Structure 1
């Protein structure tokens, strides 16, 4: 049995707790949050603590806090020579305090507390300094049923940057589309099959080959009509930027 303590009360921490609780080989020993009210609903399922000095010995300590807080939280841990990991895609492994064994356990997925997450569909990117720590973190990923990958710092940061494009930026484009449909009283839901089909395409072909639309075809009249339709200057700037990028990619 692998024992873990979770440090943090955000989206990632919450989903990790729920996922670990369903496994047979991982036991969440404690869950720490500065504000116990954030995790009080779980107090009958796990020991919750608000003082880092109250952390008992565990095999792995998982710091799942905001990127800016990782360094200070790891520095404040009142023990040494234990395995401490963070879950960030962009924070360096050496940002963890060197008094403990350091590693990264990065679940590459978007997490919202309200949305269910199937960890069988969540790649875990593992980075370690000590070679002996990798097998234990691999076992942790296996317990979740997650695909797992051993990565270095540069690879992990590249994945996180790419994830911002495919997830965060794409979601903002959904928001723009939602504003456009709302402006004419059209249901955004009508676009959802297109969203799913677009995502499905890149499962079997490259994004380059999957590209369609007026920019790829260089349909100048359609592009002019679209720009005329757009009243929001930010939306117009996004349209121009992406259109020019697609045209350049496809030699138009």
Structure 2
């Protein structure tokens, strides 16, 4: 049985210096953890985050400090696997975690002895503060002690911790893409459409806010409104005519309208069963 000392994660190294690492690093420092080093292959990013957190940085993975208790990796999915072996060699007995929603925990298997996943399901932008008391963390550990250590960390910085398998987390990530990334893309398209016709995007904000508030109280399918739900061909046809000069938008409008209508029919059939 590992003792409590072996699970000490007061000293932390951040591997990566992007949006997630920036916000997570700040939250860790605010919670009293010691972030002792930042690593990034991009010197400018590493330097900026290290200065913010008051710690040194390196762009050389072989110079990562070997005495931290926890190494948190927040890098692109495409480079995660290549970072793992040289990182683990720096301190094989430490706890290693990544923060990716779509990558399995087993990326560490065969390299690290103690490992896991600490996935904060939130949208992060460097210039905007994040309230970690509203952030759900989905954790997974190679053992009960590792999972417990990650749960304690998530709760100490103010988040809510939930255990989820790698398979469950993959679906969480897909759902988050639909709920967040695709939704924001729709805002961007609406912004462009309004700007082209001399209208302010700010006029959309009350509508956007009310839509978001409703799903706190209603299932999203019940909160759905608009011409697509009732499949008002008259309105939809006019909108498609207006988008004739924007074939990409017209195609997107038509496909999403059809999806809304089909989903509504599916929900109705389910209720009747």
Question: What TM-score do you get using the length of structure 1 for normalisation?
Answer: 0.95
In structure 1, the residue matched to 2:249 is 235
Q: How does 1:1-252 map to 2 (within 5 A)?
A: 2-24=10-32, 26-41=33-48, 42-43=50-51, 45-54=54-63, 55-77=65-87, 78=89, 79-96=91-108, 98-100=110-112, 101-230=114-243, 231-251=245-265
Contact persistence 1:2–1:140 (CA under 8 A):
no
Q: CA RMSD in A?
A: 1.6
4+ residue segments displaced more than 4 Å:
none
Structure 2's unaligned 5+ residue stretches are 1-8, 269-273
In the alignment, what sits opposite 2:4? none
The whole-number CA distance in structure 2 between the counterparts of 1:40 and 1:153 is 32
Matched residues, number: 251
**CA–CA separation in structure 1 for the residues paired with 2:46 and 2:39:** 9
Unaligned runs of 5+ in 1: none
TM-score (norm 2): 0.88
Distance in 1 (alpha carbons) for counterparts of 2:68 and 2:156: 17
The answer as to whether partners of 2:28 and 2:157 remain within 8 angstroms in 1 is: yes
Task: State the distance in 2 between where 1:3 and 1:179 align.
Answer: 46
Asked if the contact 1:32–1:49 (Cα under 8 Å) also holds between the matched residues in 2, the reply is yes
> What CA distance in whole angstroms lies between the structure 2 residues aligned with 1:209 and 1:64?
37
* Paired residue secondary structure (1:105): strand
Preserved CA contact (<8 Å) 1:124 1:141: yes
